[in-house]
C-alpha cells in the first residue's frame, strides 16, 4: 500500500507539472461547453436562395418575399434563366433555386393550381434537405393564404381536416445546449480516461522510464493502479468543471440529481481507463497511441448518438453501438439531465457498464507485461 | 553458487528465431569484481543486460544472479540488482531529489539509510537537487542515474554503456566512482565501447555478434596477444593504407588514430623491410615504429578472427 502511495504521489506531481494536462482539464470542458452547443446546432440558417421569376406577377413576388422574410433564407439574387441560376449554385453562392414558370399567376387563378420548381444543392445534404423542407413548409402556408384569399367563405374547407398539436416533452423549448451538453461531457471523460491515460503510459515506454520501473519490485497491480487512479480523479474533476459551466451558462441542472451522474461517471471512468490501458499495451510510441485513439474516438462519437440518433442507424450499426461504452454514457447523461432518470431506471446501464469495466481492465492487465 | 553471476549457455533470439542476439554465452563473475563487456554495437551487450535484470526471458540456457535464477526468482533479483540502462530513463519532470526519493521508496528504503553508499556521488549533484532531471547536463544525469541505481544497496550493479556521450572529465570521475563502489564489495558489470575504459576493469569479455570471443584480465588479454606490430605514418595516409595492404608482408593493416597499424604476416619482418618497400613508392615524412599492442589492437585482431569464423 505504501508503494502505491508513492506511485500516486509521483504521478500527481508529474500531472500538475504538465501545463497541457491542467489546461485540458480546466479549460477544455468550459470552452467546449460554452462554445460548441451554440455553434454546432442542428438548425440551418442562412440558406442562400436564388429566384428565377419568368412570371413577374404579384403572387410570384409575394411568395418570394415570404421566403425571404423567414430567417432561414437569404435572398441572394434574381436571375433571368435557370442556367444563370445554376451557375450561382456552381459558384456556391446559392443553395436553393426557385423557378416560377411563365403564367404562374394565370394558371393559379384560372385552373386553381400551378407548379414551381425548386432545386437544392445537396453537396451539403443537411442544408439541402432541411432547406427544401423549410421552403415547402412556407409554400404550404402560402397555399393556405391563397385559398382563403380566393375563396373567402368556403362552404367546406378543402384542406387541413386533421390538425396536429405537438407537445415536446422533457426539453419543451428544444434548447439545444440542454441536449448537447451531456454529450460533450461524455466525450470529454472519454478523452481524459482513455487517451490521456494511454498516452501517459506509452510516454513512459517511449522515454524508457518504464524500463527502470520494471526492474524494481513494484507489482503489476501497483503500477496499473498508480496510473488509473490519478486519471480517474482527473476525469471526475473535468466533469465537475463541465457541469459547473453548464449550470452557469445554460442553467442545466440534472433532473435526476448529481449523485446518479457521478455514480455512473465513476463506473464509466473505470471502463474507459481499462480501454486506455489496453491501448497503451498495444502501442509502442505516443504517435501510435494517438492514431489508435483517434480511430476509436471517431467511432465513439459517430456511433455514440451524440449527433445522429442511434435509432435511425442501420441494423448493423445499432448492434455496433451496443459495444460502444460512450453510447451508454451519452444516453445515461441525457436521461438523467433531461428526463430525471434515477438509479432504478438506469440499473441495466450500470450493469452493462460494470461488465465493460471488468472486461476491458482484465484484457488490459492480461496484455500488460513487465517483461517480454 | 558462490559467484555473483553465473551464466550458462544463454541463447536469445528475436523475431521468432530470425535474429540471434546471444549465441551460447557462458561466463562467471566473482563477487566484488568489476567486469567489463566490450564489443561493437549490436554485439548483444544490452540484450545480455536485459536478460540478467529479468526484463527478458531467454530462449534457452540458464543464468543466476546472486544465486537466483533469472526466470524463476525474478522477484528476488529485482530486489538485489541496480540497473542503469544505456538511455537516460529517469523522470525528466521530477527533480533530482524527487527521483532519488521515489526510487528509494519503491525499494522500501530511504535516502538517509543508504546515504553513505551514494554520498561521494550525490554531493556533486546535491547543489542542484531542486533542478528537474531533464534540465541536467549529460554528466550530471549519469551521476543521478547511478545514485538511483545504488539507492537500494544492490549487490550487483549493471551499467549499460554508462559513459557514452559523456565528456572525458566526467568519464574519468565516473570510473573513479566505480572503483570506490568496488571497494565496498559491490559486483559491477559494465559495458563500454571505449577501449581505454576496458583497461580499468578487473576482467574484460570481448563480445561480437552474440558471442564472447575472449575473457581475461586486461593484462592477460594483452599477454595472450604476442604479435609484432608497427605504427606507420607518412604524408598521403590513404595511399599509404592501400599500399600497405597490398604489400606481400602484410597480414593486416588498419587505420589507428594518427597512424596505420601494420600486423606482419611473418614474425621476423624488420622495420627496414617495411621502409625499403615504401621508399620505392616515394613517401615523404615516413615514420615507422615498433609498438606494443593495446587492447584495441587485440580487439581488432579478435574481431577479425571472429568474423572469419562466422563466415
| A189-229 pLDDT per residue, tens | 888 888 888 888 898 888 888 888 888 888 888 888 899 99
In angstroms, the Cα distances linking B66 to A35, B32, B70, B160, B170 are 63, 11, 10, 19, 30
Contacts of B153 in chain A (CB under 8 A): none
Partner-chain contact A216 B78, CB within 8 Å: yes
Partner-chain contact B105 A2, CB within 8 Å: yes
Structural domains in chain A plus CATH codes: 2-40+176-367 (no CATH), 47-150 (3.40.1710.10)
Q: Are A263 and A270 in contact (CB under 8 A)?
A: no
Instruction: Determine the pLDDT at residue A25.
Output: 81
Instruction: Determine the pLDDT at residue B264.
Output: 85
Phi and psi at residue B289, to the nearest 5° = -150, 135
Q: Please work out, in degrees rounded to the nearest 5, the angle formed at the alpha carbon of residue A303 by the alpha carbons of A300 and A309.
A: 130
CB of A6 within 8 Å of a chain B CB? The answer is yes
Q: Are B99 and B143 in contact (CB under 8 A)?
A: no
Contacts of B87 in chain A (CB under 8 A): 208
- A16 → chain B, closest CA residue: B93
CB of A209 within 8 Å of a chain B CB? The answer is yes
User: Could you write out the DSSP letters of every residue in chain B?
Assistant: --SSEEEEEEEEEETTTTEEEEEEEEEEE-TT-EEEEE--TTSSHHHHHHHHTTSS--SEEEEEETTEETTTTHHHHHHHEEEE-SS--S-TTSBHHHHHHHHHHHTT--TTTTHHHHHHHHHHHGGGTTSBGGGS-HHHHHHHHHHHHHTT--SEEEEESTTTT--HHHHHHHHHHHHHHHHTT-EEEEEES-HHHHTTSSEEEEEETTEEEEEE-HHHHHHT----EEEEE-SSHHHHHHHHHHSTTEEEEEEETTEEEEEESSTT--HHHHHHHHHTTT-SS-EEEEE---HHHHHHHHHHHHHHHH-
The neighbour count for residue B26, using CB atoms within 10 Å, is: 14
Quickly state the pLDDT bin for A159 (edges 50, 70, 90): low
Q: How far apart are the first and last CA of chain A?
A: 26
Partner-chain contact B91 A14, CB within 8 Å: yes
Say if residue A28's pLDDT is above 90: no
Partner-chain contact A209 B90, CB within 8 Å: yes
Average pLDDT score over residue span A222-246? 90
Tell me, letter by letter, the H, E, C secondary structure of B33-89.
CEEEEECCCCCCHHHHHHHHCCCCCCCEEEEEECCEECCCCHHHHHHHEEEECCCCC
Which of residues A332 and A153 earns the better pLDDT score?
Answer: A332
Average pLDDT score over residue span B182-191? 91
Contacts of A19 in chain B (CB under 8 A): none
Instruction: Determine the pLDDT at residue A152.
Output: 59
Average pLDDT score over residue span A256-264? 92
Taking the CA of residue A276 and the nearest CA in chain B, the distance in Å comes to: 21
**Burial of B279: CB neighbours in 10 Å, binned 0-12, 13-18, 19+:** exposed
Taking the CA of residue A214 and the nearest CA in chain B, the distance in Å comes to: 7
CA distance A333 to A204: 34
Taking the CA of residue A296 and the nearest CA in chain B, the distance in Å comes to: 29
* Residue A215: closest CA among A80, A370, A337: A370
Structural domains in chain B plus CATH codes: 5-223 (3.40.50.300), 229-292 (3.30.70)
* Residue B151: closest CA among B230, B61, B90, B225: B90
Contacts of A217 in chain B (CB under 8 A): 75, 78-79, 106-108
Average pLDDT score over residue span B114-141? 89
Quickly state the pLDDT bin for A32 (edges 50, 70, 90): confident
CB of B111 within 8 Å of a chain A CB? The answer is no
Partner-chain contact B53 A215, CB within 8 Å: yes
Taking the CA of residue B176 and the nearest CA in chain A, the distance in Å comes to: 24
Residue among B89, B103, B106 whose CB faces A211 most closely = B89
Residue among A18, A209, A371 whose CB faces B57 most closely = A371
The neighbour count for residue B44, using CB atoms within 10 Å, is: 23
CB of B90 within 8 Å of a chain A CB? The answer is yes
Q: Please work out, in degrees rounded to the nearest 5, the angle formed at the alpha carbon of residue A88 by the alpha carbons of A132 and A80.
A: 95
Partner-chain contact A217 B93, CB within 8 Å: no
Percent of chain A whose pLDDT exceeds 70: 93
Contacts of B93 in chain A (CB under 8 A): 14, 17-18
Partner-chain contact B54 A371, CB within 8 Å: yes
Partner-chain contact B57 A372, CB within 8 Å: yes
CA distance A130 to B194: 74
Q: Which one of B73, B89, B142, B148 would you mutate to disrupt binding with A, by most A Cβ within 10 Å of its Cβ?
A: B89
- A218 → chain B, closest CA residue: B106
Contacts of A13 in chain B (CB under 8 A): 94, 98
Sign, CA dihedral A132-A134-A135-A140, equals positive
A49's enclosing H/E stretch is strand A47-53
Q: What is the pLDDT of residues A285-294, one digit of tens each?
A: 999 998 998 8
- Where do the H-state alpha helices sit in A18-71? 19-39, 58-69
Residue among B75, B85, B98 whose CB faces A217 most closely = B75
Q: Which three cell numbers stand for residue A176?
A: 439545444
Average pLDDT score over residue span A314-332? 90
Say if residue B218's pLDDT is above 90: no
The answer to which of A302-311, A324-333, A337-346, B70-79 has the lowest mean pLDDT is: A302-311
Residue among B81, B88, B105 whose CB faces A6 most closely = B105
Contacts of B74 in chain A (CB under 8 A): 371
Instruction: Determine the pLDDT at residue A157.
Output: 53
Say if residue B310's pLDDT is above 70: no
Q: Which one of A8, A12, A208, A217 would you mutate to disrupt binding with B, by most B Cβ within 10 Å of its Cβ?
A: A217
Partner-chain contact B103 A215, CB within 8 Å: no
Instruction: State the count of interchain CB pairs (< 8 A) between A and B.
Output: 67
* Residue A206: closest CA among B191, B87, B56: B87
Contacts of B106 in chain A (CB under 8 A): 3, 6-7, 213, 216-218
Phi and psi at residue B271, to the nearest 5° = -60, -40
* Residue A338: closest CA among A250, A269, A275: A250
User: Could you write out the DSSP letters of every residue in A234-267?
Assistant: HHHHHHHHHHHHHHHHH----TT-HHHHHHHHHH
- A216 → chain B, closest CA residue: B78
Quickly state the pLDDT bin for A162 (edges 50, 70, 90): low
Average pLDDT over chain B reads: 87
Residue among B54, B87, B94 whose CB faces A14 most closely = B94
The 8-class DSSP code of residue A194 comes to: I
Average pLDDT score over residue span B73-96? 90
CB of A13 within 8 Å of a chain B CB? The answer is yes
The neighbour count for residue B254, using CB atoms within 10 Å, is: 16
Partner-chain contact B83 A10, CB within 8 Å: no
Average pLDDT score over residue span B200-220? 88
Pairing mode of beta strands A47-53, A73-79? parallel
Question: How many helices, marked H, and strands, marked E, lie in chain A?
Answer: 15, 4
Cα–chain-centroid distance for residue B220? 17
CB of A372 within 8 Å of a chain B CB? The answer is yes
Percent of chain A whose pLDDT exceeds 90: 19
Q: Are A228 and A368 in contact (CB under 8 A)?
A: no
CB of B79 within 8 Å of a chain A CB? The answer is yes
Partner-chain contact A217 B54, CB within 8 Å: no
Percent of chain B whose pLDDT exceeds 90: 28
Percent of chain B whose pLDDT exceeds 70: 98
CB of A22 within 8 Å of a chain B CB? The answer is no
Partner-chain contact B91 A371, CB within 8 Å: no
Most confident of A21-30, A269-278, B40-49, B243-252: A269-278
Instruction: Determine the pLDDT at residue A105.
Output: 86
CA distance B71 to B7: 12
The answer to which of B67-81, B178-192, B241-255, B293-307 has the lowest mean pLDDT is: B293-307
Please state the ipTM of this predicted complex: 0.76
Q: Are B188 and B139 in contact (CB under 8 A)?
A: no
Taking the CA of residue B286 and the nearest CA in chain A, the distance in Å comes to: 51
CA distance B142 to B102: 17
Amino acid at each position: 500500500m505504501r508503494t502505491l502511495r508513492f506511485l500516486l504521489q509521483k504521478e500527481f506531481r508529474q500531472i500538475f507539472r504538465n501545463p497541457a494536462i491542467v489546461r485540458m482539464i480546466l479549460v477544455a470542458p468550459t470552452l467546449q461547453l460554452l462554445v460548441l452547443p451554440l455553434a454546432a446546432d442542428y438548425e440551418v440558417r442562412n440558406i442562400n436562395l436564388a429566384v428565377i421569376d419568368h412570371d413577374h406577377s404579384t403572387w410570384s413576388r409575394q411568395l418570394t418575399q415570404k421566403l425571404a422574410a423567414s430567417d432561414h433564407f437569404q435572398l441572394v439574387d434574381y436571375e433571368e434563366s435557370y442556367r444563370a441560376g445554376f451557375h450561382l449554385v456552381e459558384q456556391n453562392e446559392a443553395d436553393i433555386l426557385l423557378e416560377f414558370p411563365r403564367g404562374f399567376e394565370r394558371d393559379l387563378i384560372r385552373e386553381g393550381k400551378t407548379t414551381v420548381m425548386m432545386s437544392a444543392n445537396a453537396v451539403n445534404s443537411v442544408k439541402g434537405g432541411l432547406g427544401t423542407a423549410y421552403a415547402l413548409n412556407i409554400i404550404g402556408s402560402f397555399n393556405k393564404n391563397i385559398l382563403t384569399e380566393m375563396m373567402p367563405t368556403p362552404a367546406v374547407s378543402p384542406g387541413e381536416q386533421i390538425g396536429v398539436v405537438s407537445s415536446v416533452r422533457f426539453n419543451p423549448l428544444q434548447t439545444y445546449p440542454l441536449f448537447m451538453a451531456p454529450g460533450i461531457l461524455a466525450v470529454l471523460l472519454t478523452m481524459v480516461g482513455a487517451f490521456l491515460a494511454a498516452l501517459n503510459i506509452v510516454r513512459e515506454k517511449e522515454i524508457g522510464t518504464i524500463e527502470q520501473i520494471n526492474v524494481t519490485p513494484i507489482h503489476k497491480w501497483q503500477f496499473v493502479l498508480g496510473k488509473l487512479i490519478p486519471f480517474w480523479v482527473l476525469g471526475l474533476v473535468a466533469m465537475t468543471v463541465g457541469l459547473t459551466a453548464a449550470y452557469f451558462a445554460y442553467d442545466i441542472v440534472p433532473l435526476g440529481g448529481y449523485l446518479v451522474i457521478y455514480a455512473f461517471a465513476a463506473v464509466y471512468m473505470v471502463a474507459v481507463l481499462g480501454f486506455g490501458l489496453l491501448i497503451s499495451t498495444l502501442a509502442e510510441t505516443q504517435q501510435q497511441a494517438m492514431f489508435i485513439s483517434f480511430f476509436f474516438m471517431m467511432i465513439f462519437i459517430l456511433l455514440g448518438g451524440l449527433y445522429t440518433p442511434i435509432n435511425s442507424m442501420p441494423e448493423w450499426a445499432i448492434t455496433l453501438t451496443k459495444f460502444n461504452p460512450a453510447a451508454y454514457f451519452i444516453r445515461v447523461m441525457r436521461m438523467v439531465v433531461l428526463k430525471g432518470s434515477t438509479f432504478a431506471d438506469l440499473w441495466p446501464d450500470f450493469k452493462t457498464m460494470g461488465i465493460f469495466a471488468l472486461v476491458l481492465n482484465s484484457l488490459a492487465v492480461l496484455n500488460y507485461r513487465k517483461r517480454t | 553458487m558462490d559467484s555473483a553471476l553465473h551464466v550458462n549457455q544463454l541463447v536469445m533470439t528475436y523475431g521468432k528465431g530470425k535474429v540471434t542476439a546471444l549465441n551460447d554465452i557462458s561466463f562467471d563473475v566473482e563477487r566484488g569484481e568489476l567486469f567489463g563487456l566490450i564489443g561493437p554495437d549490436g554485439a548483444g551487450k544490452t540484450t545480455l543486460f536485459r536478460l540478467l535484470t529479468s526484463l527478458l526471458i531467454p530462449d534457452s540456457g540458464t543464468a543466476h544472479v546472486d544465486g537466483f535464477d533469472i526466470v524463476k526468482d525474478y522477484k528476488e533479483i529485482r530486489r538485489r540488482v541496480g540497473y542503469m540502462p544505456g538511455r537516460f530513463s529517469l523522470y525528466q519532470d521530477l527533480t533530482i531529489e524527487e527521483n532519488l526519493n521515489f526510487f528509494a521508496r519503491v525499494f522500501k528504503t530511504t535516502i538517509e539509510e543508504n546515504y553513505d553508499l551514494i554520498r561521494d556521488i550525490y554531493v556533486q549533484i546535491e547543489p542542484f537537487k531542486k533542478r528537474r532531471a531533464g534540465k541536467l547536463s549529460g554528466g550530471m544525469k549519469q551521476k543521478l542515474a547511478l545514485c538511483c541505481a545504488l539507492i537500494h544497496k544492490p549487490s550487483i550493479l549493471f551499467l549499460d554503456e554508462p559513459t557514452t556521450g559523456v565528456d572525458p572529465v566526467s568519464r574519468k570521475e565516473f570510473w573513479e566512482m566505480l572503483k570506490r563502489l568496488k571497494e565496498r564489495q559491490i559486483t559491477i558489470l559494465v559495458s563500454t565501447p571505449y577501449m581505454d575504459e576496458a583497461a580499468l576493469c578487473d576482467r574484460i569479455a570481448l563480445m561480437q555478434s552474440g558471442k564472447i570471443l575472449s575473457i581475461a584480465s586486461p593484462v592477460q588479454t594483452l599477454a595472450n596477444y604476442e604479435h609484432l606490430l608497427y605504427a606507420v605514418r607518412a604524408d598521403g595516409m590513404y595511399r599509404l593504407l592501400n599500399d600497405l595492404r597490398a604489400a606481400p608482408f602484410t597480414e593486416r593493416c588498419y587505420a589507428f588514430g594518427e597512424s596505420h597499424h601494420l600486423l606482419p604476416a611473418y614474425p621476423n619482418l624488420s622495420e627496414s623491410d617495411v621502409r625499403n618497400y615504401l621508399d620505392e613508392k616515394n613517401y615523404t615524412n615516413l615514420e615507422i615504429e615498433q609498438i606494443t599492442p593495446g587492447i584495441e589492437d587485440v580487439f581488432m585482431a579478435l574481431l577479425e578472427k571472429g568474423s572469419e569464423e562466422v563466415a
